[in-house]
Copies of this chain bind each other. A is one copy, B any other.
Amino acid sequence: MIDRLMAQIEQKQNPTVIGLDPTLEMIPKFITQEMLETYGKTAKAVGKMLLKFNQELLDQTADLVPAVKLQIAMYEQYGLDGIAAYLETISYAKEMGLLVIGDVKRGDIASTAAAYAAHIGGVAIDGVRIDPWKEDAVTLNPYMGFDGIKPFITPCKELDKGIFILVKTSNPSGGELQDLISDGKPVYEYAAELVSQWGELAMGEQGYSKVAAVVGATYKEQGESLREKMPHTFFLVPGYGAQGASAKDIGGYFDRHGKGCIINSSRGIIAAYQKDKRFEERHFAEAAREAVLLMKKDLGGVI
């Protein structure tokens, strides 16, 4: 996955991943009204809204970006209908040639992690393999250690999938545990070391492992320091745009060849029409395209 991701970044000259994390407030009224009229005030109506919103966004942006990231919580909150929209969006994005990162942040004991690994590895039913989720990669939580990671290594190797493990997160309270100092080093650096070690189990072909890391964009020095300490670990970097970071903050997250990093933006792209008054609501997807082009330009100096 990591080699395919790097190839797509190279081809499209863009390390931007679009975060398809819509809230109802971001979806234009002409879509919400249509679905509420057709399906009533139901989860099904919301599922249809989410899918239509995503499809139009993908139609306008798929040629510009290597990958999309779906925050599953935005779908999961609506139950089965929400998850159906998550799955249909994944299929739609993959048909357009995009790589799909499922932002699921799972993490558990070994037997449970083996079940969660179905997200990227599928599952066998009486000898027949099915693939209910189809993500190319997922995000994982390291709090329970390697037990929660190991079952994902096999699909990384055998099916060329990927995982992105939380190291340093971009949210305000991320430091409560991650920044505790043990023997002169913060906890997140231990997480970084573990991720590096685990990464040796599933190396890609261009120097980066299929076991990658999530490193928030809002802590410039820490990001740069982690880049040095983790030369074979690809970074997924949330926090660009709406969360406050810009290209000057994240240049150091890339290696000296301008590789090793993919930058997520969600609200700043998918809800761009709400800020960019040149676009009417009906042209929300074109506003998103414009936002992607701006972000590509902003990041152009670093890759």
Interface size class of A (residues with CB under 8 A): 35 or more
Interface membership of A183, Cβ < 8 A: yes
Contacts of A77 in B (CB 8 A): 115-119, 123, 132
Between A36, A127, A171, A190, the greatest number of chain B beta carbons within 10 A of the residue's beta carbon is seen for A171
Interface membership of A176, Cβ < 8 A: yes
Q: How far is the CA of A190 from the CA of B177 in the complex (A)?
A: 7
Number of copies of chain A assembled together: 2
Q: How far is the CA of A81 from the CA of B43 in the complex (A)?
A: 17
Could you give 25 example pairs across A and B, Cβ below 8 Å?
A: A23-B115, A41-B126, A42-B125, A45-B125, A46-B125, A73-B112, A73-B113, A76-B118, A77-B132, A78-B123, A78-B130, A78-B132, A79-B87, A110-B172, A141-B141, A143-B177, A144-B166, A144-B174, A145-B176, A146-B173, A148-B173, A176-B194, A177-B187, A180-B180, A180-B187
Between A71, A105, A178, A187, the greatest number of chain B beta carbons within 10 A of the residue's beta carbon is seen for A105
- A147 in contact with B132 (CB, 8 Å): no
A79 partner, pick from B128, B133, B175, beta carbons under 8 A: B133
